[in-house]
Amino acid sequence: MNANRIAQRVALASILISAALATAKIAVGLQAKSTSVVSDGFESASDVFASGLVLFGLIMAAKPADEDHPYGHGRLETLAGLAVGILLTITGALISERSVVHVFAVQQSPAAFGLWPLFGSIAVKSALWWSKRRLGSSLHSSSMVADSWNDGVDVLSGCTAAAALGLTLVNPLRFAVADHVGGAIVGLIVIFLGAQVIRQTSSELMDTMPDEELLHQVRDIALQVPGARAVEKCLARKTGLKYHVDLHLEVDPLMTVFESHEIATQVRIAIKEKLDWVADVLIHVEPFGVATLAGRGSVGRNG
């Protein structure tokens, strides 16, 4: 089973788990008259849609390249991550607004059993956060990493809601509004995470270069191929789960076109075989030692 299919199954499982947790927290929170538990339930409900977006993005990213999309459909996976960030921001704002309104309403002491779905959610979401974070990092999946942060916020918001409800239960008179304030804090946490996800995915959509360490891996493999003299320039852009690399390779200027083409082909094969995060490599052959000043000074990360 390939990595993308595994990621799809994780996203589908996350949808089902989040739906169950949201139903439990909202139902129990209403019965327990706890604003923070209900708020956390609505946050989990947004996870259902968020994981659905991730699943859609992964399915579309797996589609092969075609005439209209020569670089494949991977950008839809990044767009799904951006949509998750926007959804988180809107959800957080609605949760905070709802909680603040309830601060000024007639207060009713919540019931202690409202804590149980929070404890269950913290345990389950901790496991989901760890598994998605690990899988998303290995796949270089923006949407999966974004969804893992979504689960991480669930853990933090669940702890916040449990603490707020606990204070209200310990001293209902002194901490009468703690439960509602906890709901508002949950919303602010979600807004902050949404902004972070939007920033990260927007950066990828703008073709921000990857870490220098990744580009060094490309250069090192290229220079191991016999006949490759130097790497003048190495650029990369993320399209979904993988990167497309543009490499300016310097070879002996006295070589024939055929010989330099063969070296470039071997470099391309070596990079794709050794780096699973590279989708394809476009190689520009340059004469070694006579690169123009314009080429050296152009935008990019030189070798």
Q: Domain check: are 183 and 266 in the same one?
A: no
**Rounded to whole angstroms, how far apart are CA atoms 195 and 200?**
9
The whole domain housing 120 covers 3-205
Q: Domain check: are 200 and 257 in the same one?
A: no
Q: Report the share of the chain in percent with pLDDT over 90.
A: 21
Chosen domain end from 205, 237, 261: 205
Q: What is the pLDDT of residues 82-111, one digit of tens each?
A: 888 888 888 788 878 777 776 665 456 678
Q: Report the share of the chain in percent with pLDDT over 70.
A: 90
Q: What is the pLDDT of residues 166-181, one digit of tens each?
A: 887 887 767 767 766 7
Chosen domain end from 205, 226, 242: 205
Q: What is the pLDDT of residues 116-168, one digit of tens each?
A: 888 888 899 898 888 888 887 777 777 777 778 778 777 877 887 788 778 87
Q: What is the pLDDT of residues 185-214, one digit of tens each?
A: 777 877 887 888 888 888 878 888 888 899
Q: In total, how many domains does the chain have?
A: 2
pLDDT of residue 289: 79
Q: Domain check: are 47 and 173 in the same one?
A: yes
CB 263 within 8 A of CB 287: no
Closest among 57, 56, 93 to 78, alpha carbons compared: 57
Question: What CATH number is attached to the domain comprising 189?
Answer: 1.20.1510.10
Q: Domain check: are 201 and 245 in the same one?
A: no
**Rounded to whole angstroms, how far apart are CA atoms 96 and 191?**
9
pLDDT of residue 117: 87
Q: Look up residue 64 and give its DSSP letter.
A: P
CB 271 within 8 A of CB 222: yes
Q: Phi and psi for 283 in degrees, rounded to 5?
A: -110, 130
**Rounded to whole angstroms, how far apart are CA atoms 148 and 130?**
7
Question: What CATH number is attached to the domain comprising 237?
Answer: 3.30.70.1350
